[in-house]
Structure formats: C-alpha cells, structure tokens
Amino acid sequence: MARLEWLQRQIEGIKEEHVIENREHSAAVRLQSWFRGCQVRARLRLLHRKATIIQKVWRGFRARNQFRQMVKKAYFVMKMNFYNEMAIRIQRRWRGYYVRKYIHNYYALKRYLEGLTIKNEQVRKDLEEFAELQRREMERLAREREGQRKCLQAQRLHFLLSTEQCPGVFNSPYRDFPHEMELRLRSIKPLLAKNAPLRRDSGGSPACSLPPVPSKKPQGPFRDPAEVLQQRYRPLEPTLRVATSITALEEAREELRREEWRSRVIDDIFQPFSNAHKNRKYERTLHGTSSYEQVDYGTKYFREENKEKRQGEKLLFFSLGLSQNHPGARVHSPIHVVQLLGQREQSTVLTCVTRSRGS
Amino acid sequence: IQLEVGFRPQSLEPLLLDVVPTIQQTAALALGRLASYNDDLAEAVVKGEILPQLVYSLAEQNRFYKKAAAFVLRAVAKHSPQLAQAVVDCGALDALVVSLEDFDPGVKEAAAWALDYIACHNGELSQAVVDAGAVPLLVLCIQEPELAVKRIAASALNDIAKHSPELAQTVVDAGAIAHLAQMILNPDAKLKRQVFSALSQISKHSVDLAEMVVEAEVFPAVLTSLKDPDEHVRKNATTLIREIAKHTPELSQMIVNAGGVAAVIDYLGDSRGNVRLSGIMMLGYVAAHSENLAMAVIVSKGVPQLAICLAEETEDHIRSATAWALGQIGRHSPEHARAVAMANVLPRLLAFYMDAQSSDDLQAKAKKALKSILQKCTYVPALEPLLHEAPSNILKHVICQFSKVLLHDSKARRLFVTSGGLKKVQEIKAEPGSLLQEYINSINNCFPEEICSYLCFLFALEQLSCFQTLPSNQQECF
C-alpha cells in the first residue's frame, strides 16, 4: 500500500517531471525552430534580394535592347512615311500634270469645241449657200420653162395679133398699154407645122389638148360632138400593103434562112422517091429508138435470136440487172460485160443500157 | 383596169402561145396588170402554171416580150414571200439574170425590177437571187447611162443588202460601193434616194462595212444632200449618217469633225414629222459614245433643237427616241446635265412618264432618261419644279441631288427655304432606314433645327385644318 502510494507519488512526481521535461523540451524545440526559421528566412531574403538584383539587371538589359529596336523601327517608319509623303506629293503633281495635259486636256477640249463651233458655222453657212443656189437654180429653170411655154403659146396663137384696123384680143382700146401677150405676139415668128414641138400625150384622152367641145348644143346645123371627135381622132388603119415594109420580102427570106440554119439538125438533103440510096442501110436515130418502157429483151427472154451466126463465139448468160424479177441477181459491172461481148452485141447492150437508164 | 368578178387568168394562157408576137406581148402585159392589181389574181396566175411558160419564152423572144414577161414576174412576186418563192421555183431567176445582160435598157430595167421585188421579202430569197449570179450584173447595170436602169439596179442592191451581213458583204465584194458613191452627185432625186438607202443598208450591219462606206469618201457630199429639195433624199441621207455613227466612237468623231452634227441639227429644224426620227437617233448615238462627243453635240446647239422636237412631235415613237437621245446627252457629267436641264426638258419628260396615255416604250425611256440625267444634275432651278411633282422613285434622285448641293452652297440653301422646297421635303413620307429617309435627314441637317420643326408643325396644321386657311403672317415670321 505504501509502496503503492509511494509509487503513486512517484508516478505523480515522474509525471510532473515529464510534464516539466516536456514543457522544457517543447520550449526548446520552439526556440530552436523559431531560430532556425529566422535563419532560413534570412537566407531566403538574401537569396531573394540577389535574385531580384539579377532579374533587374537582366530585364533592364532586355528592355533597353527592345527599346533600341523600337526606336530604330520608329525611326524607320518615320523615314518611310516621310518618303511616302514626298513621293505622294511628286506623284500628285505628276498625275495632275499628265491627266491635264494628255488625258483630259481642258484647254485642248475647249479649243476643239471652239474649232468645232467655227466648223459648224462654216458648214451651216455652206449648206445655206448651197440650198440658196439650188433654190435659185430651180427658180431660174422654172422661169425659163414658163417663158418657153408662153412663147410657144404665142406662136400657136399668132393669129390673135392686132392689126391697124382691128385691135386684137390682147390690145383692147380701153387699156393704157397692151397686154404682155400682145407684145409677145408682136415679137415672135409664126410656128411652122413641121417645127412644132411634139405634143406630149398625157396618156389620158386625147381630147385634153383641144378645147372641149361644149355639151350644150349650139344653134345651127352642127353635127353631134361625139361624131366629130370620133372623126377627128380616128386612128390610122393602114392597109396591109402600106404597113409592110418595102424590104419585107428580103427580111422574110433572111428570117427563113436563119430559122433553117438554127433548126436544121440533119445535114442530108431530103431526096424523095430516089432509088439512089435504096441500098443504104437505114440508121435509126436515137430519138426513134427508145420507147421509155421495159424492153422485152432482158425481161421476157434472154437468149440470142440468131444463134447460127453466133455459134463460134462464147455465149454469156448474164443479167444486167434490168429485170426487176430477180432482186437477188448479181449485177455485173456493165463495162466489163460490154468489153467481153463482140461488136454487135455491144451496140445492142448499149441500147439496152440506155433504155435502162431512161426507164 | 376594169375587172369582172371571176375573171380567170387561165383564159389568157392560150393567147400567150399565139403565133402573132403582138398578141403574145399584149397578153403578157394584160396578165401583168391583172397580177399587180390584186394578190388573189397573182395566186391564180401562179396556180394556172403560166409562169413556166413565161420563163421559157423569156429566154427566147424579142425584147418587148421579155419586158412584158419580166413585168408579169415582178407583178406576181411583189405581193408576198410565198408568191415570190413560187416565181423562184419556176426557175425564173436564171432567165432574169440572162436578160440582165441584154442590150436593151428596157429589158434590163424590167429584169432588175423583178429581181428587186423577189429579193425584198426575206433573206432566203435574196440568197437565191445572189446565188443566181445577179449581183455583178446589177453592179454593171448601175453604170449604165440610162437613169431608170440605174435607179432600179440601186434599188435591187438595196433590197439584197438589207437582210444580212453576208449578203451585204457579197454586194460590197462586187464593187458596188464605189459606183454608188459616185452616183451621190447625180442630180436625179429618185436615184439619190435609192443610192443613200442602199449605202445605209450596207453600212448598218458591221463596223467594217461602215468603214468601207466611209472610205469611199461619201462624207462631205452626204452633208450637201441634207439640203436637197426632195424630202426622201434628205431622210435617207440622215439614215446613212446614223448607221455610220452608231458603230464606234471613232466613226462618230469623224462625222462630228466633218460638221455632220450641225448639218443634222439644221435638218431637224427644217423637217417635220416622221422623217425627224433618224436625225434624232443619230444625235443620240453620237452622244452615247463618249462625253466629249456629247459635249460636241451640246456645243452645236443640239439640245434646244431636241427640246423643240420633244415639244412639237405628237407621235409616241418619236418622243421616246427624243427622250432617249436627251438621256444619252445628259448622263455623262454635271455640265452635260446642266445643259440639258437648262433647256427646260425635265418637266416635259416627267409629264411623259406620268401620263397614262403614253405607250410603255415612251414611259420606260422617259424614266430612264430622267434617272440618268438626275443622277448628275446639280442645277437647282431645274430640280425645284420636279420636287413638287415627281413620284417617289424619281423623287429620291431629286432629293439625293439636293442633299449634295445644299451641303456646300449657302445661297442655294436660302433659296431652297424661301421657295418652299424645305416645306415640301418635310411633307414627304419615307420609311425610316430607306435611302430617301437618309437623304431627307441629310437635308434637314443642313438647316437649323427650329426651321425644320416649324415647317413640320405647319404641315401638321395644314393637314388638320384643311378647311381653314392659316393667317399669312404666321408663315412669314421666320
């Protein structure tokens, strides 16, 4: 028991010692750790300071380099701007000059337009003069024609000239001075029938040129105006004898000769009833031969007719493709076939071929 | 010719085969007159198979018969292409070409006339005529001393060349241009008509042909024919100039340098009616090529003349051609547009565009011309009336131009306000975000805010109180 209490008191004492030891231990540990911390912090501070210094120096170095670059670039840019400015000024001046002189030359255009106005005035004046000239020319022609017409009229009416006894139509005693027609009548020579100008037919009725026969029947033994006109304008009906020209016979002969020369095809003279050419072989003309229809030979029969004469020669059985009944028949070339034949068959073949061509 | 109903040309056929030549000729002449009167009779002539007979005897008989036979062929062929084809099918072409070589000028004239009427219908028939070898003979006929033969040969060449470039090339290859160019100085009016017409048909197809015609030195002579007393000669000469001018700027330049523009403008002043069309189109073509040429047209006083044409003419196609020409002149630059606008043309163009009775073509051309002129026009007195009257699609161009001008010119701004233009601008309703709204905004920005709002207010008042008129002092107080 006592031991136990002693032990317990020891325990408590030991506990207190432990507690005190621990307390001291932890205090020591705290002190040491604090101190170590201070050391380390001081070290770190030193390191920081040094690192800062290094970084500072390095950054300054870098920055200065960059700055130098920037300055160089800015200077370059400034220079280029300046050059550009100056170049723009030069180009502006040049472009202005060039455009104003060559492309859109205001003064040249103005001069051109002035020249154009002058030219236009000139042209207008010329055209006016020309029109004036033409007008005068036409007036002159019209006046001349008028004068000629009046002259002609005067010549036709020359009988209206006034005489000493009897004043004419245009020289009435009540007038102060004679009419111009009267003066004209005095000055001209009468018109001879052979010199009269041909009256131009207007294409209408021939009654236009004469004064119209009045329809009111005049008093007296006058004939019907229609009859009179008919008689006046009866057309010329020359007899056949009058109408034929004097050389009609020769002309007709010439015509016949020419006709004959043109149309004659056969030069042999026609000699009727003449025995002279009885023995001559009659040649049929080509026109008379062809009949424009299918020939029997070649369709109905193929064989030769005069066999006796031909026995010596080769007989060729062929179809020239003339028959339409044998569509599958082989067509030899007509030229080869003809060459193989003798002379007589050639003529018949030719006629057959022409017939086939014609059909 | 007095005809009975039911008269058959077949009854004349035996007369054609009569022995006596006079009867043959008279029968042929009668047939020809019948056929030319009416195309049913011509059909009957064709159906009665008289034509082969005629063609056969065309080769053989004497010259009176040849003339009569050629007359019949021409009378049949002139009515329609089918009849002409029937004539060609009978083998008439060879016989006609042979009779072109005849000595008698009457026969040549008749044959050439028949060929002319055959060739005038369409390209195939002309090709058939050319294939028969007619063209060199026609060129020879042109050189004949008789006027009638020349006229008809020129007319035949005209009708052959008009269908296609190849045919025109064939005519040119036969050496026709030189002879035609020589005949320009001939005093006869009908011949000149045909010659100019032929040259214009040749030159209309391509640039090369036009250049060949120009190289034949037609130019100063053509301008003198513009003062010819005969109307058709003038018209055809103008057509020739137009066909040459339309191809390239160089050709137009050459015409302008020769004083052609002034001559044509004078011609427009002297003539009336349909014949003005080719002159107007010529000015349009010249102005369309480049702005220098358009300026040349303006300088030659073309624009007042065109304005007169626009005012005087009543036909729609002439008006649309004038509108087109004015559009071509005015579209190049503000100077050009100013010259056109000063001639007081724009309100008239607008009237044509708005008029319901004008044809579609006229409306389209007027609208296009207005648009193209307005896009360059900065002449404010001409734009003002348009502001009040124009429909919305034209109006946006007008407003656009105003917005451009008013930005810079203060006097114009003052005038704009006092003349009531700004008020009108306020009245326009436009969708927000559209171009029109943008332009209106840019105009409103040129003026102080109060003025715009005051005018809006006035407009609203007017809208509300349409029966009451505002006292006038309110309107004058700004």
The residue to which tokens 């009540």 are assigned: A174
Q: How many CB pairs (< 8 A) connect A and B?
A: 47
Residues 322-361 of B with CB under 8 A from A: none
CA separation for the pair B436, B432 (Å, rounded)? 8
Q: Which residue of B has its CA nearest to A114?
A: B299
**Distance between CA atoms of B142 and B136, rounded to whole angstroms?**
10
The shortest CB-CB distance from B296 to any of A116, A128, A130 is to A116
User: What is the DSSP secondary structure assignment for residue B3, as one 8-state letter?
Assistant: -
Alpha-carbon distances, residue B286 vs B205, B264, B407 (angstroms): 17, 12, 35
B221: closest chain A residue by CA: A127
CA distance to A264, A267, A280, A288, B371, per residue, from A277 (Å): 21, 15, 5, 20, 103
Write down the residue that tokens 């700027």 correspond to: B249
Q: Which residue of B has its CA nearest to A116?
A: B257
Q: What is the pLDDT of residue B424?
A: 79
So what's the pLDDT on residue B469? 54
| B184, B224, B228, best to mutate vs chain A, most A CBs in 10 Å | B224
Does B224 sit within 8 Å of A127, measured CB to CB? yes
- Residues of A within 8 A of B292 (CB-CB) are 109, 112
Collapsing DSSP to helix, strand or coil, B344 comes out as coil
A141 close contact with B: CB closer than 8 A: no
- Residue numbers in chain B where pLDDT is lower than 70: 1-10, 466-478
DSSP code of residue A341: S
Largest CA-CA distance found in chain B, in angstroms, rounded: 108
What are the residue ranges in chain A where pLDDT is below 50? 202-209, 315, 317-332, 334, 337-338, 352-354, 356, 358-359
Scan residues 224-263 of B and list those with Cβ closer than 8 Å to A.
224, 226-229, 256-259, 261-263
Asked if A87 has any chain B CB less than 8 Å from its own CB, the reply is no
**Partner residue facing B262 (CB), from A113, A123, A131:** A123
Q: Which two tokens stand for residue B456?
A: 């809006």
pLDDT score for B388: 82
Main-chain phi, psi angles of A301, to 5 degrees: -145, 150
Distance CA B461, CA A319 (A): 116
Tell me phi and psi for residue B188, to 5 degrees: -75, 135
* A127 touching B (Cβ < 8 Å): yes
- With CB atoms and an 8 Å threshold, state whether A120 touches B224: no
Strand runs labelled E in chain A:
none
Long-range contacts for B420-427 (Cβ within 8 Å, ≥24 apart)? B421/B384, B421/B387, B422/B447, B422/B451, B422/B452, B422/B455, B423/B455, B423/B458, B423/B459, B424/B387, B424/B388, B425/B387, B425/B399, B426/B452, B426/B455, B426/B456, B426/B459, B427/B459
Instruction: Give the one of A113, A120, A131 whose C-beta lies nearest to B262's C-beta.
Output: A120
From A203's Cα to the closest Cα of chain B, the distance in A is 14
Contact A127 B263 (CB under 8 A): yes
Q: Tell me which DSSP letter residue A159 carries.
A: G
State whether residue B62 sits within 8 Å of chain A by CB. no
A301, β-bridge pairs: A297
- C-beta atoms of A116 and B266 within 8 A: no
| Distance in angstroms between the alpha carbons of the first and the last residue of chain B | 86
Q: How many helices (H) and strands (E) does chain B have?
A: 33, 0
Q: Which residue of A has its CA nearest to B253?
A: A116
DSSP state at residue A206: G
**DSSP character string of A277-338:** GSSSPPPPPHHHH--SS--SBTTTB-S-S-HHHHTTSPP-----S--SS-TT-----HHHHH
What's the DSSP call for residue A99?
A: I
Question: Which residue in B229, B256, B295 is closest to A138 by CB distance?
Answer: B229
Interface check for A54 against chain B (CB to CB < 8 A): the answer is no
Q: What are phi and psi of A50, to 5 degrees?
A: -65, -45
**Looking at residue A97, what is its pLDDT?**
93
CB of B185 within 8 Å of a chain A CB? The answer is no
The overall pTM is greater than 0.95: no
Which amino acid is it at A335? Answer: I
Interface membership of A119 toward B (CB under 8 Å): yes
Measured in angstroms, the CA of A206 and the nearest CA of chain B are apart by 19
HSE of B3, CA atoms in CB hemisphere, 13 A: 16
Please report where in the chains the tokens 């501070």 appear, as a residue: A45
For residue A209, the model assigns a pLDDT of 46
**pLDDT the model gives residue B477:** 46
Q: How far apart are CA B365 and CA B386, in angstroms?
A: 18
Query: What is the amino acid identity at position B182?
Result: Q
Give B 293-322 residues with CB within 8 A of chain A. Answer: 295-296, 299-300
